[in-house]
Structure 1
Amino acid sequence: MGVLAFDLGASSGRAVAGRLNCGLLTIEEIHRFSNIPVQLPGHLHWDILNLFREIKQGLLKSRSLGYPLQSVAIDTWALDFGLIDRKGELLGNPYHYRDGQTEGMMDQVFEVISREEIFSRTGIQFMPVNTLYHLFAMKRNRSHLLEQADRFLMIPDLLRYFLTGEAYTEYTNATTTQLFHAGSRTWDTRILGLLDIPAHLFGSIIQPAAFAGTVLPSISKELSLPPLPVIAACEHDTASAVVAVPTVDRDFAYISCGTWSLMGTELSEPLLSPKALGYNFTNEGGIGGTYRFLKNIMGLWILQECRRIWEQENKPFTFPDLIEAATHARPLQAFIDPDHLTFLRPDHMPEQIMQYCRDTKQPVPHSEGEIVRCIMESLALKYRMVLEMTEELTGKKFKGLHIVGGGSHNSMLCQFTANAIARPVWAGPAEATAIGNIIVQYMAHEQIGTVREAREIVKKSFPLVTYEPDDADEWNDAYARYRSLIG
């Protein structure tokens, strides 16, 4: 028997079937679809009903697998949510985390409760896209949605609710909201109360690898499927990806690399020191009581946005086209800080990159290849900076860096990262989030015992590519310039 993972990212989703046989895991993608947000007058939204339609399409296609399924589970990006009314119906389309309603909200929140207290309670880094600031904006704007709501559900919770009729909030995703107490592992009623966000919206927490319901009879009948159990995987996609890091080491560093780059390590307790606050690190919940101590980096969103703009300008480049063009550009000429707020939601990403270089008195990249190379080198140098911060904060020294997720296919980024950190980079598996989702389902079925056992299975089941560092002097010089540039 197999299991089915729905893995939804900020730009696409997929249904991946997995089978465990004699200690080896095999996976098969059976459905892939786009996740395209919708800009309406005034707000940016997720098309949540279309995403649920695609989940049903994936279930429909699972009938042709040739073997029965034991269960299904969903993981998605973090932060975003839907609101359910007292009749159990969805109120409006969920806002996209890049929606502009949070502009200025962080400062307004800090007038009520300090950064220091928020971090000491939640352990979560400060970003304007955080759930807290969206809810606070809705409260300040007297949103009728918030006034009518009876239940807050994050995106995977909401899709699971549509599938089963059961409303739970999964732990790893709840921890990302900046509304969850890191010590007590419950909703933080003090923060909710101070910000006048209705506490009754926040319901029961369910842990990863727990059974969370069964596919509704009406959906089973519609799709001619048996009543499948639904598992709460690690429903934050990064939490799933970290489960699938192919290592047997207790201390390891990783990047879950995609639209965002989430870089850090795994700890047994949250790290809430003043320096962790100063470096704006985060402590997100993981499986088995662990914490993902990490930092969010803007990631390949910048490249994706450049490609989108170029497509609008009748330059339909593939990603391999852009990487090939970048190989012919002069190395280490100009850099950006990927996390600068000007890159969060610009109207024209290539122009914004050029403007940043002008403003910082660097050579300005003009061609597509020069811009792409600037992005790739800047990400690699930012990774080195964050790796050094991670080691300083934790007191650990890492032998190298694991890159999992779609970015592990980007050989230029992986090699540049190895060069920047002067250590090996181990790339793969690319489908780490789906694999982690599948593994947690097998843990729910007691066919995998521990996370260590799971990681050994991943290491045996999927090939890795090792990138050794090169050009050390040039990259050390570039890093010194990068540090002086972004401070």
Structure 2
Amino acid sequence: MTRAVRTVAAVDLGAESGRVVRATFDGERLDAAEVSRFAHLPRPVDGILRWDLAGLTRDITAGLGALGTDAPVASVGVDSWGVDYGLLRADGTLLDAPTCYRDPRQLVALDEALATVGRDRLYRATGTQINEINTVFALLSDARTTRRLDDAATLLMLPDVFHHLLSGSRVTEFTAASTSGLYDMVGRRWAVELAEELGIPARVLPEVVPAGTDLGPVVGALGEGPLAGARVVAPAGHDTASAVVATPFTAPGALFVSSGTWSLVGVETPHAVVTPESEAANLTNEGGVAGTTRLLRNVMGLWLLQECRRAWARQGLQLSYAELVELAAQEPELRSVVNPNAPEFLAPGDMPARVQAYCERTGSPVPQTPGAVARCVVDSLALSYRTTVEDIAAVTGTPPPAVHITGGGARNRLLAQATADATGLPVHCGPVEATALGNAAVQLVALGELADVAEVRAVVARTAEIRTCSPRPQARWEEAAARLRQMTLDDDRRRGLLPS
């Protein structure tokens, strides 16, 4: 007897573009088809870099409306990048447009938090990497420099802002909450005492629910169209958590690299790892599905190349990602290296000039052409993955046996080979659509179509195309990794994250 096909809608928001995906499961295969894609970028409003919430809402609504009525859509869920949030008034209306983690105010707020409670308190209360992008620093800035929190009744992490618009729910999902820098990953609760020490009103912190929670029916106009009768199901709201769900690991303890605007590099663990060693390595603990934790590091990621492309386009030079990778492949490897997480690379701007200035300041040969700049970025990302592998192995006592790259970066053959060479590990690339597949899969588990994460990964493994790169170890990668570690130490001291 043929099994009925089940259809769900996955809204996947990246920090450069978003899309609506129709996912179908026939009992054997889980397939994802893009229905719509839209570009978006933050823009300054009232002196703060903000996301265009109205534009995102319009584009998501249009994409969901284009799903069609041929096959009933059982549910819909939204995932997005972490850390950003919206504020609701008591009546459920949104206070204003969500602010963006790239706003310079967060660097100032990080310094203020360090001066107020110190690095140890921030880390040990949450298990979260000290990083200026964290929600806690935006909220600290809100509390000290604006009146935003005065009228706020509820904070929702960004994917749950859209769940609220779809269903009226006022809860936030665990994996998204865990990126805030204000959630206790050991106690599995909001770090209320830390919030109060920083002057952030704990009253705005919402109920946290697990991935797979049914948030209610779709309401409003969408509930009368293609989504008539559909449920809103919270997937793993953080896009990396969704991607990890759909990563078909070849061995226990393998490293994941969720590669997009950011690269999130880490391993799954059964519980949070909050130790002096993890603090010294500045590793973060983020929520996973089914009670797991992702022990990882945030690496700046393909944002560097995205901003380079935009800068070159403003100069009249249009280069696709494929063309840029081809140019980079013609350049010698490891000639120039930067620390991708240096603070000067965080905000939008002339990224090629910033890469060149960093190289000049640190004594690396200054890349002059787009190909040389791109090669510098690719090699630097691969080296950052290597140092993360080493740090995770030192903290957990277990070296990862392989690397799995998912997301858009899985298409970048040069980055994959550089990662294999840098880490000395086999690198498995794919699925590219891991985030949308993971989003959809959690919905299907909630609907009773799939049993658990293990079955999800088995389905993905027989559905997705996976490409493998074998390592070509060379001594030059050892030397370059040592250079990157020294750069990172120097940059952390400049930021006040380490003693001078």
TM-score tier, shorter chain, comes to over 0.9
Give 1:97's aligned amino acid: Y
Offset of 1:29 from its aligned partner?
A: 0.9
Give 2:269's aligned amino acid: L
Task: Tell me the distance in 2 between the aligned counterparts of 1:183 and 1:482.
Answer: 31
Offset of 1:103 from its aligned partner?
A: 2.7
Counterpart for residue 187 of structure 1: 190
Q: Which SS does the other structure have where 1:423 is aligned?
A: coil
User: How do 1:230-379 residues align onto structure 2 when only pairs under 5 Å count?
Assistant: 230-247=232-249, 249-345=251-347, 347-379=349-381
> Is the contact between residue 113 and residue 194 of structure 1 (CA under 8 Å) also seen in structure 2?
yes
TM value normalised by structure 1: 0.96
1:36 and 2:41 equivalent?
A: yes
Task: Tell me the distance in 2 between the aligned counterparts of 1:484 and 1:36.
Answer: 33
Task: Tell me the distance in 1 between the aligned counterparts of 2:416 and 2:207.
Answer: 40
1:24 and 2:26 equivalent?
A: no
> Is the contact between residue 240 and residue 264 of structure 2 (CA under 8 Å) also seen in structure 1?
yes
Unmatched segments (≥5 aa) in structure 1:
none
* Count of matched residue positions in the alignment of Structure 1 and Structure 2: 484
1:176 and 2:179 equivalent?
A: yes
> Is the contact between residue 85 and residue 155 of structure 2 (CA under 8 Å) also seen in structure 1?
yes
Query: Deviation per CA, 1:213-264, whole angstroms, max 9, x where unpaired?
Result: 111144323x464131000100000110110111253322110001000000
1:165 to 153, 165, 168: 168
Task: Tell me the distance in 2 between the aligned counterparts of 1:47 and 1:455.
Answer: 35
Offset of 1:39 from its aligned partner?
A: 2.5
Q: Which SS does the other structure have where 2:10 is aligned?
A: strand
Counterpart for residue 74 of structure 1: 78
* Structure 2 CA distance for partners of 1:188 and 1:476, relative to 1, 3 Å: closer
Task: Tell me the distance in 1 between the aligned counterparts of 2:312 and 2:383.
Answer: 25
Task: Tell me the distance in 1 between the aligned counterparts of 2:476 and 2:226.
Answer: 60
Moved more, 2-11 or 23-32: 23-32
* Structure 2 CA distance for partners of 1:352 and 1:377, relative to 1, 3 Å: same
Task: Tell me the distance in 2 between the aligned counterparts of 1:346 and 1:230.
Answer: 34
Counterpart for residue 89 of structure 1: 93
Give 1:209's aligned amino acid: G
Give 2:399's aligned amino acid: K
Counterpart for residue 150 of structure 2: 147
> Is the contact between residue 248 and residue 455 of structure 1 (CA under 8 Å) also seen in structure 2?
no
Moved more, 316-325 or 254-263: 316-325
Task: Tell me the distance in 2 between the aligned counterparts of 1:454 and 1:307.
Answer: 36
Give 1:454's aligned amino acid: V
> Is the contact between residue 247 and residue 456 of structure 1 (CA under 8 Å) also seen in structure 2?
no
> Is the contact between residue 216 and residue 227 of structure 1 (CA under 8 Å) also seen in structure 2?
no
Query: Deviation per CA, 1:20-67, whole angstroms, max 9, x where unpaired?
Result: 223221111111111221223522110111111112112111115x32
> Is the contact between residue 73 and residue 437 of structure 1 (CA under 8 Å) also seen in structure 2?
yes
1:466 and 2:471 equivalent?
A: no
Q: Which SS does the other structure have where 2:131 is aligned?
A: coil
Offset of 1:83 from its aligned partner?
A: 0.8
> Is the contact between residue 218 and residue 227 of structure 2 (CA under 8 Å) also seen in structure 1?
no
1:57 and 2:59 equivalent?
A: no
Offset of 1:309 from its aligned partner?
A: 0.3
Task: Tell me the distance in 1 between the aligned counterparts of 2:226 and 2:406.
Answer: 36
Counterpart for residue 208 of structure 2: 205
Share of identical aligned residues, percent? 37
Query: Deviation per CA, 1:62-121, whole angstroms, max 9, x where unpaired?
Result: 115x32111111000111111111222111111111012223212211233222122112
Counterpart for residue 126 of structure 1: 130
Offset of 1:485 from its aligned partner?
A: 4.6
Query: Deviation per CA, 1:424-480, whole angstroms, max 9, x where unpaired?
Result: 100000111101001100110122112111111111110100001125244334334
Task: Tell me the distance in 2 between the aligned counterparts of 1:484 and 1:103.
Answer: 22
Tell me the C-alpha RMSD between the 2 structures. 1.5
Counterpart for residue 217 of structure 2: 214
1:12 to 9, 14, 17: 17
Offset of 1:347 from its aligned partner?
A: 3.0
Moved more, 130-139 or 243-252: 243-252
Query: Deviation per CA, 1:153-195, whole angstroms, max 9, x where unpaired?
Result: 1111111101111111111111111111122211121012112
Task: Tell me the distance in 1 between the aligned counterparts of 2:37 and 2:482.
Answer: 42
Q: Which SS does the other structure have where 2:404 is aligned?
A: strand
> Is the contact between residue 307 and residue 349 of structure 2 (CA under 8 Å) also seen in structure 1?
no
Task: Tell me the distance in 2 between the aligned counterparts of 1:60 and 1:98.
Answer: 31
